[in-house]
Amino acid sequence: MVLVRGIVYLLCSVLLCGSISAEPVLSSAPTALLNHLVGTWMLRGTIAGKQTTHDVQAAWVLNNEYLQLHEISHEKSASGRAAYEAIVYINWDVKARQYTCLWLDSTAGGGLSPEGIARANQAGDSIPFTFTLSASDQIHTTFSYDKPADTWQWLIDNVVNGRT
C-alpha cells in the first residue's frame, strides 16, 4: 500500500503561508472547499510519536479537474533524499457526488491499485477518506478545514481489526 502502514496516528496542523494561485478559482460547493488547500504551505505534526515538518504545494491541474498536492518531508533518509514524498490527487466525481483521492507516495509503491484510491462524502468542512487495504486493515485520512483560522488539519489513523 502506498500509505505508511506503520502510521498509527498523524495529527498535522497546516498553516497556509503566502498562498498564491494563478489557477482560476472553482466555485461549485464541493470544489470551493478544496480551493482553501491551493497554495504553498507547511505541514507540521506527529507521525508515530515523532515530530515532522513537510512542505506542501497544492494546485489545480489537468483542466482544473484535479487538485494535486505535492508533499515533501524536511527529514532526510540515509541516502540524503526526502524521508517521505507524496503526490496526491483529489477530485469531485460529479456522477457519484463524492470526492475521490489517489495517494501515491515513496513508502512502498503500489499506489496505482485499489488500495491507493479512496472515496469520501463531505462532512461539513471535512473530507473523510477511507483507504481499504484488506477486509480488516484500513487507513482513515480526514482533511478538516477550520474557516476562522484558515488552516487545515489532517488526521490519519491506521485501523486494524476495528482498532486504531
pLDDT band, residue 28 (cuts 50/70/90): low
pLDDT of residue 46: 87
pLDDT, mean of residues 120-137? 91
For residue 72, is it within any domain? Answer: yes
Domain total for the chain? 1
- 89 domain residue, yes or no: yes
- Nearest 5°: the CA angle 60, 158, 12 is 50
Output the pLDDT for position 61.
Answer: 96
Is residue 155 scored above 50 in pLDDT?
yes
- Taking the complete model, does pTM exceed 0.95, yes or no? no
Name the phi and psi angles at 124, rounded to 5. Answer: 65, -125
- Whether the CB-CB separation of 68 and 91 falls below 8 Å is answered with no
Q: What angle do CA 52, 84, 42 make, to 5 degrees?
A: 45
- Percent of the chain with pLDDT strictly greater than 70: 79
Q: What is the pLDDT of residue 26?
A: 47
* CA-closest candidate to residue 139, choices 125, 151, 154, 123: 154
Q: Is residue 2 part of a domain?
A: no
* Whole-number average pLDDT of the chain: 81
The Cβ-side half-sphere exposure at 43, using a 13 Å CA radius, reads: 27
- Tell me how far apart the alpha carbons of residues 66 and 158 are, in angstroms, rounded to a whole number: 26
Q: What percent of the chain has pLDDT over 90?
A: 54
Range of the domain at 53: 9-160
| Residue 126 domain-assigned (yes or no) | yes
Q: Cell 513508502 maps to which residue?
A: 107
For residues 76-81, average pLDDT: 91
* Type and span of the H or E element at 120: strand 117-120
* Lookup: cell for 152: 487545515
pLDDT for res 96: 92
4 part of a folded domain: no
Domain assignment present for 1: no
Average pLDDT estimate for 85-94: 94
pLDDT tens sequence across 47-78: 878 899 999 999 999 999 999 999 999 999 89
On whether the CB atoms of residues 72 and 55 are closer than 8 A, the answer is yes
